[in-house]
Amino acid sequence: MLKYNLKLLVICLITLVINLNYCILANTYYVSNSIGNDDYDGLSIEHPFKSIEKINSLYFNPGDTILLKSGDIWEGMLWIKGSGSVQNPIILDSYGGEIKPIINGNGYQACILIYNDDNININNLELFNEASHLDSLGNIKKLIGFGGASNSWGSGKDVRFGIKIIADNQSLSNYKLDELYIHDIYPTPENINNTHKGYGLKLETQSDTLINLYNTISNFEIANSYIYRTGHYGFWIKSLGLNMNFDDFKNDNIKVLDCLFEHTGGSGFVPNKSSNILVENCIFNHSGSSLDQRMWKRGSGMWPFDCYNVIAQENYFMNARGPLDSYGSHIDYGNENVVFQYNFSINNEGGFVEILGDNINCGYRYNISVNDGYRLDPNNQLWRKRGKTFFVSNYCGSNTVRCPNSGTFIYNNTSFVNDTLSPEIYCWPNVGDVHIFNNIVFATSDGDVIPTLIENDSNTIDISHNIFYDVNRFYLDEDLWNTAIYEDPELLNSDPLGIDDPTYYNVSHGSIAINQGRLVNGSDELTDYLENNGGRDFFGNIVSSDTPTTIGACNYNETNEFDLSNIIESSVVTYPNPTSTEINIELGLLSSENYLISIFDSKGYEVYSIEDSNSSLKIDVSHLSKGVYHVHIKNKRNYINKKVVIK
């Protein structure tokens, strides 16, 4: 009987502990550097904590919320300890106003550190980090808990971050970041070679395959955020200890939505060893920036490396700079199923399309490029560092080992080149099978000749149905002749220098391009890009699997050329786009009767509305935040939606 009672008591105690764990109440902690006190309990607006150090001393439970007071400023590194759950994440946010609270990393490695914890949301904060890593006595600033040589994240001596998330003893998942402003991230290293190593956001996993330790990060989303002035990348995903032979282990389900990356010293976004990535409605402006001497000064807007299933769509890639790469976007090596589609690429020094080696089923479709590829080789050599419209290579990390691709595709893109530049078209030898078709390459008539070279050694070349105009601007390789058209495709743009609005690279209803393209069909698999056309073009027009497509990024079909609504929509233009001060709206063929114009931000909130009847209108947008906006124009018979970028 005694043994039975003891066993019953143990069972009751275990049940009680389990129930207590489930019944722990989530707390909301308030933090104010202006009115707080670390001796308070922090559980009310009237009695907030004061310091980052106080928050760093606590361990948080699922559902706990940490709120920083609007307008207050802290110095140091905030280390969130504890994990939430899928249903009840830990939340770091603001309270008490619209002004974002600020964390100045003050020379520590990061403004915010997450170390082997997950299920965490971070919202509505401003972060910067460029102060010296030395304190007033000349000692390196280190956060308690990171003093050992193997755990150097407490010091910002050689490298610096806005936010760093580290997985080194387990895989992590479930993060949401929203409405962040991360800027001026630069280290202060003793070694001058490290001056550029500042990163807005980094996900870092550390694995050791010798002891079967495989760590990844999954289910990560950043949205509606602005990353500005970083020494190197804006957002970097890096897997340490996993080489390309371990393809079964990748960071997974990464989303970058409605974000602005501007003046990053390196690239805006670099995912490494990741799968199922979506980058949508983002702006990449001035990657490879030289705005500050602490910048890397080179970089494409985005490039995936050793990734699987990547979709980058409806983005703006603008003004990339640098002596190598520095395309609007490029596909590095070791990827599978990567597509850049429905993007607008403009004024990028390296060029428009760059695809490196060891890639499977990767490419570009339904994009518009304007004046990309103006870089000149310093030694005036062809095929080396000069800017390019299309470039396919087999480079895979070594100058001695080369890796051909499989299923490379470049189709239904429109590229405009003005007289001031002459970007090459070049495919290396031994790049595998290359499919280039249904593209418009439009060059105005008076510039230098544009060289082209398609190497045939060990290549399977599939090139057809492209428009090259004005053909006198091109020295066309014979492989580009196949079913090529040399007539004017009649783009709506009439400015010989080009216009920074994608609307003008639609074709007119009488264009030679209409229904002259090659049909893409045969598969229902969305990632079978060579046999599944995606169903729509850059402008949202339907792309049929039965009717030959229109050449270029606009699928203006003969079957709908007399559809009045399509003609009216094409006549309505918004410019300049991108803009920073005002939007000009020309209504074209839209009836001059009363119409309603509304502007919505990326979250769907209306930020402007006016009812008018004029055929043209100027709207002041200088007060709006940077980002992507939708302009809705409607009257009794028509509804038109235009996307506008405010930079």
Report d(CA 84, CA 73) in Å as an integer.
26
Closest listed residue to residue 539, CA positions, set 319, 265, 343? 343
Residue 537 in this model has a pLDDT that exceeds 50? yes
Q: Put the strands of the sheet holding 78-80 in their side by side order.
A: 78-80, 110-115, 160-167, 198-206, 235-240, 269-270
Predicted pLDDT at 590: 66
Predicted pLDDT at 566: 58
Distances (CA, A) of 562 to 112, 484, 509, 556, 557: 57, 27, 8, 10, 10
Contacts made by residues 611-615, CB under 8 angstroms, sequence distance 24+? 615/586, 615/587
Of the chain, the percentage scoring pLDDT greater than 90 comes to 73
> pLDDT (tens digit, 9 = 90+) per residue, 362-412?
999 999 999 999 999 999 899 999 999 999 999 999 888 999 999 999 999
Q: Higher pLDDT residue, 155 or 69?
A: 69
Alpha helices in 444-589 (DSSP H): 564-571
Question: Average pLDDT, whole number, for the chain?
Answer: 91
Predicted pLDDT at 592: 60
Predicted pLDDT at 11: 53
Closest listed residue to residue 103, CA positions, set 56, 164, 162, 155? 162
Q: Write b or e for each residue in 83-112: b if 16 or more Cβ atoms lie within 10 A of its Cβ, otherwise e.
A: bbeeeebbbbbbbbeeebbbbbbbbbbbbb
Residue 563 in this model has a pLDDT that exceeds 90? no
Query: Could you tell me which residues come within 8 angstroms of residue 128 by beta carbon, excluding any fewer than 6 positions away?
Result: 102, 104, 105, 111, 162, 182, 183, 184, 185
The 3-state secondary structure of 179-239 reads: CCEEEEECCCCCCHHHCCCEEEEEEEEECEHHHCECCCEEEEEEECCEEEEECCCCEEEEE
Residue 120 in this model has a pLDDT that exceeds 60? yes
DSSP β-ladder status, 90-95 and 65-69: parallel
> pLDDT (tens digit, 9 = 90+) per residue, 272-328?
999 999 999 999 999 999 999 999 999 999 999 999 999 999 999 999 999 999 999
> pLDDT (tens digit, 9 = 90+) per residue, 339-370?
999 999 999 999 999 999 999 999 999 999 99
Predicted pLDDT at 561: 45
Q: Higher pLDDT residue, 414 or 152?
A: 414
Query: Could you tell me which residues come within 8 angstroms of residue 249 by beta carbon, excluding any fewer than 6 positions away?
Result: 207, 214, 216, 239, 242, 273
Report d(CA 453, CA 463) in Å as an integer.
13
Residue 636 in this model has a pLDDT that exceeds 70? no
Predicted pLDDT at 148: 39
Q: How many CA atoms lie within 13 A of 462 on its CB side?
A: 15
Residue 6 in this model has a pLDDT that exceeds 60? no
Rounded average pLDDT over 559-566: 50
The pLDDT-based confidence of 252 (bands split at 50, 70, 90) is: very high
> pLDDT (tens digit, 9 = 90+) per residue, 54-93?
999 999 999 999 999 999 999 999 999 999 999 999 999 9
Pair 414, 552: CB distance under 8 Å: yes
The 3-state secondary structure of 112-139 reads: EEEECCCCEEEECCEEEECCCCECCCCC
> pLDDT (tens digit, 9 = 90+) per residue, 544-559?
999 999 999 999 765 5
**CATH number of the domain at 571-646, please?**
2.60.40.3080
Contacts made by residues 539-548, CB under 8 angstroms, sequence distance 24+? 539/506, 541/566, 543/412, 545/519, 545/520, 545/521, 546/519, 546/521, 547/515, 547/519, 548/515, 548/516, 548/517, 548/518, 548/519
Rounded average pLDDT over 490-509: 91
CA dihedral for 612, 646, 180, 165, sign (positive or negative): positive
Predicted pLDDT at 16: 46
Residue 506 in this model has a pLDDT that exceeds 60? yes
> pLDDT (tens digit, 9 = 90+) per residue, 419-450?
999 999 999 999 999 999 999 999 999 999 99
The residues spanned by each domain of the chain are 63-275, 571-646
Predicted pLDDT at 616: 82
Closest listed residue to residue 300, CA positions, set 339, 332, 343? 332
> pLDDT (tens digit, 9 = 90+) per residue, 575-594?
888 888 899 888 776 666 68
Gyration radius of the chain's alpha carbons: 27
Predicted pLDDT at 189: 83
